[in-house]
Protein backbone atom coordinates (compact mmCIF):
# COMPACT_ATOMS: atom_id res chain seq x y z
CA UNK A 1 0.00 0.00 0.00
CA UNK A 2 1.54 3.30 -1.15
CA UNK A 3 1.15 6.16 1.32
CA UNK A 4 3.26 8.98 -0.16
CA UNK A 5 5.43 9.90 -3.15
CA UNK A 6 8.15 12.24 -1.98
CA UNK A 7 11.60 11.35 -0.63
CA UNK A 8 14.36 13.20 1.21
CA UNK A 9 17.25 11.48 -0.62
CA UNK A 10 18.26 11.87 -4.27
CA UNK A 11 19.10 8.32 -5.31
CA UNK A 12 20.74 7.99 -8.72
CA UNK A 13 18.80 4.76 -9.41
CA UNK A 14 15.40 6.30 -8.60
CA UNK A 15 13.29 9.29 -9.64
CA UNK A 16 10.72 9.20 -6.82
CA UNK A 17 12.47 12.15 -5.15
CA UNK A 18 11.34 14.33 -8.06
CA UNK A 19 7.70 13.74 -7.02
CA UNK A 20 5.59 15.66 -4.53
CA UNK A 21 2.46 15.02 -2.51
CA UNK A 22 0.75 18.16 -3.78
CA UNK A 23 -2.35 16.13 -4.66
CA UNK A 24 -2.57 14.39 -1.28
CA UNK A 25 -6.19 15.50 -0.92
CA UNK A 26 -6.98 12.99 -3.67
CA UNK A 27 -5.23 10.09 -1.92
CA UNK A 28 -7.12 7.33 -0.14
CA UNK A 29 -8.17 8.68 3.23
CA UNK A 30 -7.50 6.86 6.49
CA UNK A 31 -10.98 5.34 6.70
CA UNK A 32 -10.68 3.88 3.20
CA UNK A 33 -7.29 2.37 4.02
CA UNK A 34 -8.72 0.79 7.16
CA UNK A 35 -11.63 -0.64 5.15
CA UNK A 36 -9.24 -2.23 2.65
CA UNK A 37 -7.06 -3.67 5.41
CA UNK A 38 -10.11 -5.23 7.10
CA UNK A 39 -11.24 -6.78 3.83
CA UNK A 40 -7.74 -8.07 3.14
CA UNK A 41 -7.54 -9.63 6.62
CA UNK A 42 -10.83 -11.42 5.96
CA UNK A 43 -9.46 -12.74 2.66
CA UNK A 44 -6.09 -13.77 4.12
CA UNK A 45 -5.70 -13.70 7.93
CA UNK A 46 -2.02 -14.66 7.50
CA UNK A 47 -1.36 -11.97 4.89
CA UNK A 48 1.35 -9.31 4.89
CA UNK A 49 1.04 -5.59 4.25
CA UNK A 50 4.04 -3.74 2.80
CA UNK A 51 4.11 0.02 3.39
CA UNK A 52 5.47 1.78 0.29
CA UNK A 53 6.61 5.33 -0.54
CA UNK A 54 8.51 7.58 -1.43
CA UNK A 55 10.15 7.62 1.93
CA UNK A 56 7.15 6.43 3.89
CA UNK A 57 8.46 7.65 7.27
CA UNK A 58 8.20 11.27 6.15
CA UNK A 59 4.52 10.94 7.14
CA UNK A 60 4.79 9.45 10.61
CA UNK A 61 1.09 9.71 11.53
CA UNK A 62 0.05 7.80 8.41
CA UNK A 63 2.94 5.38 8.80
CA UNK A 64 2.23 4.33 12.39
CA UNK A 65 -1.53 4.32 11.80
CA UNK A 66 -1.05 1.68 9.09
CA UNK A 67 1.29 -0.32 11.35
CA UNK A 68 -1.25 -0.16 14.17
CA UNK A 69 -4.10 -1.35 11.96
CA UNK A 70 -2.03 -4.32 10.82
CA UNK A 71 -1.26 -5.24 14.42
CA UNK A 72 -4.93 -4.93 15.43
CA UNK A 73 -6.00 -7.15 12.52
CA UNK A 74 -3.24 -9.73 13.05
CA UNK A 75 -1.56 -8.97 9.72
CA UNK A 76 2.20 -8.97 9.27
CA UNK A 77 3.52 -5.49 8.44
CA UNK A 78 6.70 -4.90 6.44
CA UNK A 79 8.49 -1.72 5.44
CA UNK A 80 11.67 -0.57 3.69
CA UNK A 81 12.94 2.83 4.85
CA UNK A 82 16.10 4.87 4.28
CA UNK A 83 16.77 5.32 8.00
CA UNK A 84 16.81 9.12 8.05
CA UNK A 85 13.85 9.42 10.45
CA UNK A 86 15.19 6.91 12.99
CA UNK A 87 17.54 9.30 14.77
CA UNK A 88 17.04 8.52 18.45
CA UNK A 89 16.66 5.65 20.88
CA UNK A 90 13.07 6.75 21.46
CA UNK A 91 12.14 6.49 17.77
CA UNK A 92 13.90 3.13 17.50
CA UNK A 93 11.90 1.85 20.47
CA UNK A 94 8.69 3.10 18.90
CA UNK A 95 9.56 1.26 15.69
CA UNK A 96 10.13 -1.96 17.61
CA UNK A 97 6.97 -1.66 19.72
CA UNK A 98 4.53 0.02 17.31
CA UNK A 99 6.12 -0.22 13.86
CA UNK A 100 6.44 -2.95 11.25
CA UNK A 101 7.14 -6.54 12.21
CA UNK A 102 9.90 -6.48 9.61
CA UNK A 103 11.99 -3.34 9.20
CA UNK A 104 14.40 -3.09 6.27
CA UNK A 105 16.83 -0.19 5.97
CA UNK A 106 18.27 0.59 2.54
CA UNK A 107 22.07 0.41 2.40
CA UNK A 108 24.05 0.08 -0.82
CA UNK A 109 27.49 -0.68 0.57
CA UNK A 110 29.67 -0.85 3.66
CA UNK A 111 31.68 1.87 1.91
CA UNK A 112 30.29 5.24 3.11
CA UNK A 113 31.44 7.10 0.00
CA UNK A 114 29.73 4.68 -2.40
CA UNK A 115 26.47 4.65 -0.45
CA UNK A 116 26.38 8.46 -0.29
CA UNK A 117 27.22 8.73 -3.98
CA UNK A 118 24.35 6.49 -5.05
CA UNK A 119 21.92 7.99 -2.54
CA UNK A 120 22.72 11.50 -3.69
CA UNK A 121 23.08 13.05 -0.22
CA UNK A 122 26.24 13.35 1.85
CA UNK A 123 25.85 11.69 5.24
CA UNK A 124 23.19 9.22 4.08
CA UNK A 125 25.44 6.29 5.05
CA UNK A 126 25.88 7.51 8.62
CA UNK A 127 22.14 8.02 9.01
CA UNK A 128 21.28 4.56 7.65
CA UNK A 129 23.87 2.78 9.80
CA UNK A 130 22.94 4.80 12.88
CA UNK A 131 19.30 3.82 12.36
CA UNK A 132 20.23 0.15 12.10
CA UNK A 133 22.37 0.24 15.24
CA UNK A 134 19.61 2.05 17.16
CA UNK A 135 17.06 -0.56 16.04
CA UNK A 136 19.29 -3.50 16.97
CA UNK A 137 20.01 -1.94 20.36
CA UNK A 138 16.35 -1.13 21.03
CA UNK A 139 15.29 -4.67 20.18
CA UNK A 140 17.88 -6.03 22.59
CA UNK A 141 16.81 -3.71 25.42
CA UNK A 142 13.12 -4.43 24.88
CA UNK A 143 13.69 -8.18 24.44
CA UNK A 144 11.39 -8.03 21.40
CA UNK A 145 12.80 -10.85 19.29
CA UNK A 146 9.79 -11.07 16.96
CA UNK A 147 10.74 -7.85 15.13
CA UNK A 148 13.12 -8.54 12.26
CA UNK A 149 15.78 -6.00 11.26
CA UNK A 150 17.09 -6.35 7.72
CA UNK A 151 19.30 -4.46 5.30
CA UNK A 152 18.14 -4.00 1.71
CA UNK A 153 21.14 -3.70 -0.59
CA UNK A 154 21.11 -2.65 -4.23
CA UNK A 155 23.66 -4.79 -6.10
CA UNK A 156 25.36 -3.27 -9.16
CA UNK A 157 28.73 -3.12 -10.88
CA UNK A 158 30.48 -1.05 -8.20
CA UNK A 159 29.70 -3.23 -5.19
CA UNK A 160 29.11 -6.84 -6.23
CA UNK A 161 32.75 -7.91 -6.03
CA UNK A 162 32.84 -6.85 -2.37
CA UNK A 163 29.69 -8.73 -1.40
CA UNK A 164 31.58 -10.78 1.18
CA UNK A 165 32.61 -7.62 3.03
CA UNK A 166 29.06 -6.28 2.75
CA UNK A 167 27.63 -9.43 4.36
CA UNK A 168 30.24 -9.31 7.12
CA UNK A 169 29.45 -5.67 7.90
CA UNK A 170 25.67 -6.21 7.96
CA UNK A 171 25.57 -9.51 9.87
CA UNK A 172 28.56 -9.25 12.18
CA UNK A 173 29.28 -5.54 12.68
CA UNK A 174 25.75 -4.12 12.67
CA UNK A 175 24.09 -7.34 13.84
CA UNK A 176 21.13 -7.24 11.45
CA UNK A 177 19.24 -10.46 10.75
CA UNK A 178 19.68 -10.52 7.00
CA UNK A 179 21.13 -8.77 3.97
CA UNK A 180 18.48 -8.82 1.25
CA UNK A 181 19.94 -8.48 -2.25
CA UNK A 182 17.93 -6.36 -4.66
CA UNK A 183 19.63 -6.46 -8.04
CA UNK A 184 19.96 -3.50 -10.37
CA UNK A 185 16.88 -2.81 -12.49
CA UNK A 186 15.87 0.16 -14.63
CA UNK A 187 15.58 3.36 -12.62
CA UNK A 188 12.66 3.20 -10.18
CA UNK A 189 9.96 5.60 -11.22
CA UNK A 190 11.23 5.67 -14.80
CA UNK A 191 13.70 7.91 -16.59
CA UNK A 192 13.61 9.24 -20.14
CA UNK A 193 17.30 8.37 -20.51
CA UNK A 194 18.31 5.76 -17.97
CA UNK A 195 22.00 6.44 -17.46
CA UNK A 196 22.34 4.55 -14.17
CA UNK A 197 20.96 1.30 -15.55
CA UNK A 198 22.96 1.58 -18.77
CA UNK A 199 26.21 2.49 -17.00
CA UNK A 200 26.10 0.11 -14.03
CA UNK A 201 24.63 -3.18 -15.31
CA UNK A 202 27.92 -4.70 -16.45
CA UNK A 203 28.30 -7.52 -13.95
CA UNK A 204 30.18 -10.73 -14.75
CA UNK A 205 27.45 -13.35 -14.13
CA UNK A 206 29.92 -16.17 -13.40
CA UNK A 207 31.93 -14.02 -10.98
CA UNK A 208 28.75 -12.86 -9.22
CA UNK A 209 27.49 -16.43 -8.75
CA UNK A 210 30.87 -17.56 -7.42
CA UNK A 211 30.81 -14.71 -4.90
CA UNK A 212 27.24 -15.48 -3.81
CA UNK A 213 28.11 -19.15 -3.31
CA UNK A 214 31.18 -18.24 -1.29
CA UNK A 215 29.09 -15.96 0.93
CA UNK A 216 26.43 -18.65 1.23
CA UNK A 217 28.98 -21.11 2.56
CA UNK A 218 30.78 -18.64 4.82
CA UNK A 219 27.72 -17.04 6.42
CA UNK A 220 25.41 -20.10 6.36
CA UNK A 221 22.73 -18.19 4.42
CA UNK A 222 20.93 -21.16 2.88
CA UNK A 223 20.63 -19.73 -0.63
CA UNK A 224 18.06 -21.29 -2.93
CA UNK A 225 19.84 -22.87 -5.96
CA UNK A 226 16.88 -22.00 -8.22
CA UNK A 227 17.17 -18.34 -7.21
CA UNK A 228 20.92 -18.40 -7.89
CA UNK A 229 20.21 -19.79 -11.38
CA UNK A 230 17.73 -16.97 -11.98
CA UNK A 231 20.26 -14.35 -10.91
CA UNK A 232 22.77 -15.69 -13.42
CA UNK A 233 20.10 -15.83 -16.13
CA UNK A 234 19.14 -12.23 -15.37
CA UNK A 235 22.64 -10.84 -15.89
CA UNK A 236 23.24 -13.13 -18.87
CA UNK A 237 20.11 -11.55 -20.38
CA UNK A 238 21.53 -8.05 -19.90
CA UNK A 239 24.93 -8.92 -21.33
CA UNK A 240 25.39 -7.31 -24.74
CA UNK A 241 22.05 -5.47 -24.74
CA UNK A 242 22.36 -2.17 -26.61
CA UNK A 243 19.15 -0.39 -25.56
CA UNK A 244 19.38 -0.34 -21.76
CA UNK A 245 19.60 3.45 -21.68
CA UNK A 246 15.88 3.33 -22.51
CA UNK A 247 15.23 1.80 -19.09
CA UNK A 248 11.75 0.36 -18.77
CA UNK A 249 11.13 1.10 -22.46
CA UNK A 250 13.99 -1.21 -23.45
CA UNK A 251 13.04 -4.13 -25.69
CA UNK A 252 15.52 -6.39 -23.91
CA UNK A 253 13.89 -8.90 -21.56
CA UNK A 254 14.96 -11.78 -19.36
CA UNK A 255 15.22 -15.03 -21.28
CA UNK A 256 13.05 -16.83 -18.72
CA UNK A 257 9.84 -15.92 -16.91
CA UNK A 258 10.74 -15.61 -13.22
CA UNK A 259 7.92 -13.50 -11.77
CA UNK A 260 4.74 -14.61 -10.00
CA UNK A 261 3.45 -11.36 -8.53
CA UNK A 262 0.04 -12.02 -10.11
CA UNK A 263 -0.37 -15.11 -7.92
CA UNK A 264 0.32 -13.46 -4.55
CA UNK A 265 0.46 -9.64 -4.60
CA UNK A 266 -2.00 -6.77 -4.72
CA UNK A 267 -0.47 -3.32 -5.22
CA UNK A 268 -2.70 -0.43 -4.09
CA UNK A 269 -1.62 3.03 -5.15
CA UNK A 270 -2.20 6.37 -3.44
CA UNK A 271 -5.61 6.78 -5.11
CA UNK A 272 -6.96 3.32 -4.30
CA UNK A 273 -6.30 1.67 -7.67
CA UNK A 274 -5.36 -2.00 -7.34
CA UNK A 275 -3.00 -3.87 -9.66
CA UNK A 276 -1.22 -7.21 -9.63
CA UNK A 277 2.19 -5.55 -10.01
CA UNK A 278 3.68 -2.07 -9.84
CA UNK A 279 3.54 -1.57 -13.61
CA UNK A 280 0.78 0.63 -14.98
CA UNK A 281 1.07 -1.36 -18.22
CA UNK A 282 -1.51 -3.79 -16.89
CA UNK A 283 -5.13 -3.04 -16.11
CA UNK A 284 -5.87 -1.56 -12.70
CA UNK A 285 -9.19 -1.43 -10.84
CA UNK A 286 -10.36 1.38 -8.50
CA UNK A 287 -11.39 0.12 -5.07
CA UNK A 288 -14.34 2.23 -3.95
CA UNK A 289 -16.58 0.08 -1.78
CA UNK A 290 -16.75 -2.98 0.43
CA UNK A 291 -16.13 -6.12 -1.58
CA UNK A 292 -14.11 -4.40 -4.32
CA UNK A 293 -10.82 -5.92 -3.15
CA UNK A 294 -12.22 -9.44 -3.19
CA UNK A 295 -13.80 -8.88 -6.61
CA UNK A 296 -10.52 -7.51 -7.94
CA UNK A 297 -8.61 -10.60 -6.83
CA UNK A 298 -11.08 -13.06 -8.33
CA UNK A 299 -11.99 -11.13 -11.50
CA UNK A 300 -8.56 -10.34 -12.96
CA UNK A 301 -7.66 -13.65 -14.59
CA UNK A 302 -7.39 -11.83 -17.92
CA UNK A 303 -4.57 -9.77 -16.41
CA UNK A 304 -2.89 -12.89 -15.02
CA UNK A 305 -2.96 -14.49 -18.45
CA UNK A 306 -1.30 -11.43 -19.95
CA UNK A 307 1.31 -11.23 -17.19
CA UNK A 308 2.43 -14.85 -17.58
CA UNK A 309 4.24 -13.83 -20.76
CA UNK A 310 5.90 -10.74 -19.23
CA UNK A 311 9.68 -10.97 -18.92
CA UNK A 312 10.42 -7.42 -17.79
CA UNK A 313 13.52 -6.78 -15.70
CA UNK A 314 11.51 -6.34 -12.50
CA UNK A 315 10.97 -10.10 -12.34
CA UNK A 316 14.24 -10.33 -10.38
CA UNK A 317 12.93 -8.03 -7.63
CA UNK A 318 12.58 -9.46 -4.12
CA UNK A 319 8.91 -8.43 -4.04
CA UNK A 320 7.72 -10.23 -7.18
CA UNK A 321 10.13 -13.06 -8.02
CA UNK A 322 8.82 -16.62 -8.06
CA UNK A 323 11.82 -18.15 -6.29
CA UNK A 324 12.74 -17.25 -2.73
CA UNK A 325 16.36 -16.26 -2.24
CA UNK A 326 16.68 -18.66 0.70
CA UNK A 327 15.44 -22.17 1.32
CA UNK A 328 12.93 -22.87 4.04
CA UNK A 329 14.30 -24.35 7.26
CA UNK A 330 12.82 -27.74 6.30
CA UNK A 331 14.52 -27.64 2.89
CA UNK A 332 17.86 -26.45 4.23
CA UNK A 333 18.20 -28.42 7.47
CA UNK A 334 18.69 -31.79 5.82
CA UNK A 335 19.32 -34.94 7.89
CA UNK A 336 23.03 -34.78 7.06
CA UNK A 337 23.28 -31.52 9.00
CA UNK A 338 23.56 -32.57 12.63
CA UNK A 339 24.58 -31.22 16.01
CA UNK A 340 25.41 -27.59 16.74
CA UNK A 341 25.90 -26.67 13.08
CA UNK A 342 22.40 -27.76 12.12
CA UNK A 343 20.85 -25.96 15.10
CA UNK A 344 22.73 -22.76 14.26
CA UNK A 345 21.73 -22.86 10.61
CA UNK A 346 18.09 -23.59 11.39
CA UNK A 347 17.90 -20.76 13.92
CA UNK A 348 19.51 -18.36 11.45
CA UNK A 349 17.12 -19.22 8.66
CA UNK A 350 14.11 -18.84 10.90
CA UNK A 351 15.14 -15.23 11.49
CA UNK A 352 15.99 -14.44 7.87
CA UNK A 353 13.32 -16.02 5.69
CA UNK A 354 10.20 -13.96 6.43
CA UNK A 355 10.11 -11.60 3.45
CA UNK A 356 10.57 -14.15 0.71
CA UNK A 357 7.65 -16.18 2.00
CA UNK A 358 5.24 -13.42 3.03
CA UNK A 359 5.02 -10.71 0.37
Note the pLDDT of residue 358. Answer: 33
46 burial class (0-12, 13-18, 19+ CB within 10 angstroms)? Answer: exposed
CATH number of the domain within which 161 lies: 3.20.20
Among the ranges given (86-100, 186-200, 290-304, 308-322), the one the predictor scored with the smallest mean pLDDT: 186-200
Domain membership of residue 63 (yes or no) is yes
Q: Which of 247, 251, 255 is closest to 231 using CA atoms?
A: 255
Domain membership of residue 203 (yes or no) is yes
| Mean pLDDT computed over 195-205 | 95
**Eight-class DSSP state of 187:** P
| Mean pLDDT computed over 344-351 | 33
Domain count, the chain: 1
List the alpha helices (DSSP H) in the chain.
30-43, 60-73, 89-98, 112-119, 124-142, 163-168, 195-200, 205-219, 225-238, 261-264, 292-298, 301-307, 329-332, 339-350, 354-358
Domain membership of residue 301 (yes or no) is yes
Q: Give the separation between CA 351 and CA 323, rounded to whole angstroms.
A: 18
Query: Residue 47 is part of which domain span?
Result: 16-358
Note the pLDDT of residue 165. Answer: 98
At 287-345, the pLDDT tens digits run 999 999 999 999 999 999 999 999 999 999 989 999 999 998 777 665 544 333 333 33
Domain membership of residue 31 (yes or no) is yes
Is 286 in a helix, a strand, or coil? strand
Q: Which of 345, 319, 336 is closest to 78 using CA atoms?
A: 319
At 30-82, the pLDDT tens digits run 999 999 999 999 999 999 999 999 999 999 999 999 999 999 999 999 999 99
At 128-155, the pLDDT tens digits run 999 999 999 999 999 999 999 999 999 9
Q: Which of 186, 308, 301, 303 is closest to 247 using CA atoms?
A: 186
CA atoms within 13 Å, Cβ hemisphere of 231: 28
Domain membership of residue 3 (yes or no) is no
Domain membership of residue 6 (yes or no) is no
Domain membership of residue 4 (yes or no) is no
Is 149 in a helix, a strand, or coil? strand
Domain membership of residue 11 (yes or no) is no
Amino acid sequence: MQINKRCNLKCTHCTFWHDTDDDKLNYLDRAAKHRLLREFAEMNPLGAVVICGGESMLDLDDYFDLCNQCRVLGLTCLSVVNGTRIRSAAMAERMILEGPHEISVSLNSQNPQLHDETRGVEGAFNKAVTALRLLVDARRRLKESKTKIYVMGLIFDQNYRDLEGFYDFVLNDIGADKLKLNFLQPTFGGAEVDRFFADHHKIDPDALIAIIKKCDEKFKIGCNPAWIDNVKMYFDSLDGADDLSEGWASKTETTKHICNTYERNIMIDHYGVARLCFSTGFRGVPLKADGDLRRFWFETNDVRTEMRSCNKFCGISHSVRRESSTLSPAEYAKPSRTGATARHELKYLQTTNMTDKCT
